[in-house]
């Protein structure tokens, strides 16, 4: 490997790329990483971390309203979008510095410029420098999809939403996946009029139907409007800077901001992978084997750029596994069963394992369903009558818990522990044998009969 400039060259300094770089360096490899934007990647810079901070900020509207029912008098409440926005962006700066320090502390060289593949063992930087490496890891992530319709240049994506100069009064969100539902909840809580438009009739595809239905009911009661089966046809900018949006066969909708959240596509355009004999999939993804190896034996790929699960913890596990496999003397791969996921909508939902529909198909209908439909204690004094819903999907033959699905306050925090139980293959009887922690919402998980 001394014949190469580096043992490992990573393209993309997001969660997967940084983890792979750090672990490979800890194994003694000479490592470099190239990042054309900011170190930290989508999750840290313009994704789950700043978005979760916006969720926290928007929650105070609800908490302050409920405070009066608990004896607190809060007068003169006002909200300043600029303060929240700038506070979030400062934390992004802090995290980028922390990620950079991690690379430095592990003696990983980093180039702040675009890199493209020029062969099985070579890359070229935007500055023109060519670098060789025994192995190349592609970890460039994905990019928001912008649908093709007249006026789409007036729209924004999740990349730009964190930099809005002011809080819009009217927001249209196109899409009904987790990104769309999270931002719809944020803007709704901050007092914006929110309309969700979707080309199909399904929201949060892949999540259990009971949770989707409950979230729809609650968010509609909170004032979010939905227009299903309504693809956007045209966006026109008005003299005052506002937008007029034509959807489906309905009357045009006025808006101040139109956020496109219709999915993400692997960011592989122009990456030069064909020079190494790698053919992309139909969606632009890089096909890989169980060890994240591409069609070229010296090039690997992890994270959202592949056709596997697009979640930050998955990218981290994949990057770690590649580093261990190549330089740690241990063949390691990532397991994709019982992967927990959450939507930080308002209220949030969280899931792990099989949905009821998936279980009935896989087990020929031989499943048992247990539910707990309850009003969270914190809502009892509030004016909201929102109810939480927990659901267990159980294999009737073995009694093994196949899936857990939850909607209600703090569901993602609760689910992480439950995911361990599902991953371990625990049975419903073992859930039932666990003593409840009272009073808590989590106790509902061991009280379903």
Residue numbers annotated as active site: 438
From edge to edge, which strands make up the β-sheet containing 232-237?
232-237, 243-247, 253-255
Task: Assess contact for 131 and 122: CB atoms under 8 A.
Answer: yes
Return the DSSP state at 162.
Answer: G
> Which residue pairs from 125-134 have beta carbons closer than 8 angstroms and sit at least 24 positions apart in sequence?
125/34, 126/36, 131/5, 131/6, 131/9, 131/32, 132/3, 132/4, 132/5, 132/6, 133/4, 133/5, 133/6, 133/7, 133/8, 133/9, 133/32, 134/1, 134/4, 134/6, 134/7, 134/8, 134/298
| Beta-carbon count within 10 A of 331 CB | 11
CA dist 144 → 52, 160, 261, 302, 440 (Å)? 18, 11, 7, 18, 38
**How many Cα atoms within 13 Å fall on the side-chain side of residue 325?**
21
């Amino acid at each position: 490997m001394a014949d190469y400039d580096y043992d490992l060259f990573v393209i993309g300094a997001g969660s997967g790329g940084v983890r792979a770089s750090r672990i490979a360096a800890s194994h003694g490899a000479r490592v470099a990483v190239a990042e054309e934007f900011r170190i930290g990647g989508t999750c840290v810079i313009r994704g789950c971390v700043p978005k979760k901070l916006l969720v926290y900020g928007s929650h105070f509207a609800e908490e302050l309203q409920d405070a009066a029912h608990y004896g607190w008098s809060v007068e003169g409440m006002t909200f300043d979008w600029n303060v929240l926005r700038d506070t979030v962006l400062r934390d992004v700066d802090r995290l980028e510095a922390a990620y950079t320090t991690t690379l430095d502390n592990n003696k990983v060289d980093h180039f702040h410029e675009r890199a493209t593949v020029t062969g099985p063992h070579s890359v070229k930087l935007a500055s023109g420098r060519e670098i060789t490496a025994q192995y190349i890891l592609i970890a460039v992530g994905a990019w928001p999809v912008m649908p093709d319709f007249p006026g789409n240049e007036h729209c924004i994506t999740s990349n730009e939403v964190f930099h809005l100069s002011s809080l819009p009064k009217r927001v249209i969100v196109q899409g009904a996946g987790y990104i769309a539902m999270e931002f719809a909840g944020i803007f709704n809580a901050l007092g914006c009029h929110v309309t969700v438009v979707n080309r199909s009739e399904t929201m949060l595809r892949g999540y259990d139907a009971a949770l989707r239905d409950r979230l729809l009911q609650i968010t509609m009661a909170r004032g979010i409007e939905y227009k299903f089966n309504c693809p956007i046809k045209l966006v026109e900018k008005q003299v005052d800077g506002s937008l007029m949006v034509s959807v489906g066969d309905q009357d045009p909708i006025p808006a101040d901001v139109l956020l496109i959240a219709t999915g993400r596509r692997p960011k592989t355009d122009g990456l030069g992978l064909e020079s190494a004999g790698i053919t992309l999939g139909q969606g632009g993804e890089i096909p890989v084997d169980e060890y994240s190896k591409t069609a070229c034996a010296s090039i690997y790929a992890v994270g959202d750029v592949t056709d596997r699960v697009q979640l930050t913890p998955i990218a981290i596990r994949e990057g770690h596994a590649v580093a261990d496999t190549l330089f740690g003397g241990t063949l390691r791969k990532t397991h994709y069963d019982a992967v927990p996921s959450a939507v930080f909508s308002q209220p949030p939902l969280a899931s792990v394992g099989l949905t009821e529909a998936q279980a009935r198909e896989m087990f020929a209908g031989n499943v048992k369903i247990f539910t707990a439909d309850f009003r969270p204690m914190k809502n009892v004094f509030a004016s909201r009558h929102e109810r939480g819903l927990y659901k267990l999907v159980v294999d009737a033959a073995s009694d093994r818990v196949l899936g857990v699905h939850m909607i209600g306050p703090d569901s993602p925090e609760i689910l992480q522990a439950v995911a361990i139980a599902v991953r371990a293959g625990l049975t419903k009887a073992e859930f039932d044998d666990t003593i409840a922690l009272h009073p808590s919402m989590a106790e509902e998980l061991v009280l379903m009969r």
